[in-house]
Chain A
Amino acid sequence: EDKVVQSPLSLVVHEGDTVTLNCSYEVTNFRSLLWYKQEKKAPTFLFMLTSSGIEKKSGRLSSILDKKELFSILNITATQTGDSAIYLCAGTLNAGGTSYGKLTFGQGTILTVHP
């Protein structure tokens, strides 16, 4: 059965700190790993990682995938209170051709940033 495990499950930091969130996966016929930020409602897309070793960056957030070791990390530098949220990672599989399959989510990391 496909499995995605995130660590830590929760993290409390102060504004300005740098955090690293971890995600390991076991997904049959793996295609991509995705990171989402979830506040009170729908998960919002952060990154999709398909190739190993290529860092994706968006502002203070960055992420990288290691397909050999089956894990990914999400880094947030200079954290702000607005970064407080649940961060979800999910693996998706090949579903034929260029098609993506369902997402298998980890349990999430709850990040709390204090002023």
Chain B
Amino acid sequence: DTGVSQDPRHKITKRGQNVTFRCDPISEHNRLYWYRQTLGQGPEFLTYFQNEAQLEKSRLLSDRFSAERPKGSFSTLEIQRTEQGDSAMYLCASSFTGTSSRGYTFGSGTRLTVV
């Protein structure tokens, strides 16, 4: 598998429930990024990791959001006490830290619907 995998593809949850998404990056990529995309908007940066270290977290990310990358491979994004405003596509991307002419590779995303 040479791509970025995300699971699940779709998630419907009731308001107030917790959800967790998983991202498996390209194996040789050491950076992993999470983005959120709502309808009609470009992806919005949430957070990113280099290996297992979380290097940056968006100021827009509330305390209900947490991300981990415990062994520097796959990552999880958890949203606690979901709200309807959390409904969006959550995209994961990975990259090298070194020079790359292709930049970043995105997964197909997890579409979250909070009802």
Contacts and interface: CB of A to CB of B under 8 A. Distances in A.
Contact of A42 (B40, B48, B106): B106
Contacts, number: 65
Interface residues of A, number: 26
A104 B45 contact: yes
A72 interface: no
B107 A88 contact: no
A100 B109 contact: no
A92 B35 CA distance: 14
Interface string B24-65: 000000010101000011111100100000001000000000
A107 interface: yes
A42 B104 contact: no
A45 B104 contact: yes
Interface in A33-53: 34, 36, 41-45, 48
Interface in B93-115: 93, 95, 97-109
Given A99-B97, A103-B104, A43 B56 contact: no
B91 interface: yes
Contacts of B40: 107-108
Secondary structure class of chain B's binding surface, majority of residues: loop
Nearest to A6: B42
B101 A48 contact: yes
B101 A108 contact: no
29 contacts: A34-B104, A36-B106, A42-B91, A42-B108, A43-B43, A43-B91, A45-B102, A45-B103, A88-B42, A90-B43, A95-B97, A97-B97, A98-B97, A98-B99, A99-B97, A99-B98, A100-B100, A100-B103, A103-B33, A103-B35, A103-B43, A103-B45, A103-B93, A103-B104, A105-B43, A105-B44, A107-B42, A108-B40, A108-B41
